[in-house]
């Protein structure tokens, strides 16, 4: 399990929200230090290379 997911699991345990008997409305938002920046770079690498749709003419 990743450190982030472990932290979420421990936070749920500490707050007593890790066990339930019926559906509950709970939202969890997680993020990384860089957000989606690395994914954006990977995407733009594919569209900018090999005369892709975003390649410079």
Where does 1-57 have alpha helices with state H?
Answer: 3-15, 37-48
pLDDT in tens, the chain (57 residues): 677 788 888 888 998 888 889 988 877 777 667 767 777 788 777 776 666 565 555
pLDDT at 5: 80
pLDDT at 3: 75
**Is pTM beyond 0.85 here?**
no
pLDDT at 36: 76
| Contacts by 40-48, CB closer than 8 A, 24 or more apart | none
Tally Cβ neighbours within 10 Å of residue 12.
14
């Amino acid at each position: 399990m990743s450190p982030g997911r472990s932290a979420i699991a421990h936070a749920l345990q500490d707050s007593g929200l890790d066990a339930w008997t019926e559906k509950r409305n709970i939202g969890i938002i997680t993020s990384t230090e860089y957000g989606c920046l690395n994914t954006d770079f990977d995407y733009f690498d594919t569209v900018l290379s090999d005369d892709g749709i975003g390649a410079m003419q």
